[in-house]
Amino acid sequence: MQPKLMLSISEIKSLLATPQKIVITTHHKPDGDAMGSSLGLYAYLIQKGHHVKLITPTDYPYFLHWLPNNSDVIIYTEAQEESAKLVEEAALIFCLDFNTLARINDLGELVRASKAYKLMIDHHLDPEDFDDYRHWSINACAAAQLVYDFIVNELEDGAMMNKDIATCLYTGIMTDSGSFRFESANAAVYRIAADLIDLGAEHWRIHQLVYDNATENRLRFLGHCLSEKLEILREFNTAIITVTKEELQKYQIVTGDTEGIVNYALSVNGIKLAAFIIERTDKVKLSLRSTGDFPANEICKKYFNGGGHRNAAGGFSDKNLADTVQEFKALLTDYKNQLLQ
C-alpha cells in the first residue's frame, strides 16, 4: 500500500486564496481549547471571505457562550440534517483538537465520507490517518497555540489577526495550559500570549468569564464532591472522587459543571494521580490527572477505552460505577512504584 500523500502548505495557501465552503468541527463536549481554537480559526476564515460553518458534535459549557461569534455555532445533535448537508458540500473541513473521528461521535462518519479535504490541527498522541493535511505537535500546550502558528507562521498571515481571533485563541491556550501553570506552558507560549494581549485579548476579563462564572448549583456540587466524595489512597498517592447519576440530578448538573473538579483532588499535598469517576446515563466516565512523569494516558488507553496527554487523560467503562471504581483501585498496584517515587 502506497503511503498517503499529504497536502503541502503551498497547496493549502492556494486553496484558501479564493472563497471556499469550509466546515470547522471539534471534539464532543468541547472545552475551552476546542471552542477557543475553533472560533479563532472561524473568525480568521470569515475575515478572509470564506463561507464558514462551525459544527460541534454536542453542546458545550455555558461559560464559553460569551466567545466572539458563538451565536453562529451549529450543534450537530440539534441540527443533524443541516449539519450533514454542510459537511457534504464542504470543500475543506478543519478538524480541531481531536485526532480520531471517533471523538466527534456520529459526525465522524459524515466527515469520513465527505469528499472535502480534511485538515487536522491537533496536539494529541497517535493521530488517525483520515486527514489530508496535518498541523500537529504533542509539544503544543493547546490546539489554539497551533492555530496561532498555522495562521501566523504557516500561512504567513499575521496581519489578519484581530481582537476576536486573539480573544478566542487566548481562551484556548489559557484553559488547556491550566492558566499557564502546566509544564507545556513554556516561554514560547508566554510570547504568544503576550502577542494576543497586544492584539486586544483582555486576559483578566477572559479569566473572569471562564473561571468566575459558576452557577450556585455548580458551587454546591463542588462542595459536596470535596466534603463527601473525596477518597485519599495514601498507599498509592492517589485521590478519587466518585459521583452517581442521582447526585448529578440532585444538583441539576449541566454540561461544563463537572469540568476541572478532578484538579482539586490532584491539589492535595502528596497526591500524584487523581481520578474523577462519574456515572452517566449510558456509561461510566473517567477523568485522570497526574503530576510529573506519571502516565495517566496509559491507564486510560490500556483499561478504559480512552487516552489523552501524559498528565491529563480520559476514558470510559461499560461496567457499573462500583465495578469501575474497583477496577481502577485494583490496577494501582501495578503502578505503585511509579506513584511512590
| Distant-in-sequence, close-in-space partners of 329: CB < 8 Å, separation ≥ 6 | 233, 240
Question: Letter for the amino acid at 3?
Answer: P
Rounded Cα distance between 262 and 268, Å, is 11
Burial of 2 (0-12, 13-18, 19+ CB in 10 A): exposed
What are 136-191's pLDDT values in tens digits? 999 999 999 999 999 999 999 999 999 999 999 999 999 999 999 888 999 999 99
What domains lie within the chain, and their CATH numbers?
Answer: 9-211 (3.90.1640.10), 216-340 (3.10.310.30)
| Distant-in-sequence, close-in-space partners of 109: CB < 8 Å, separation ≥ 6 | 101
For 322, the grid coordinates are 462500583
Statement: residue 3 has pLDDT above 80: no
State the pTM of this model: 0.92
Rounded Cα distance between 238 and 270, Å, is 9
Statement: residue 1 has pLDDT above 50: no
pLDDT at residue 341, rounded to an integer: 87
Rounded Cα distance between 255 and 236, Å, is 31
Kindly tell me the sign of the dihedral angle through the C-alpha atoms of 98, 100, 105, 106. Answer: positive
Question: Letter for the amino acid at 336?
Answer: K
Residue that the C-alpha cell 504568544 belongs to: 192
Q: Are 316 and 304 within 8 A, CB to CB? A: yes
Return the minimum-mean-pLDDT range out of 74-78, 135-139, 179-183, 271-275: 179-183
Statement: residue 5 has pLDDT above 70: no
pLDDT at residue 2, rounded to an integer: 45
Mean confidence (pLDDT) of the chain: 96
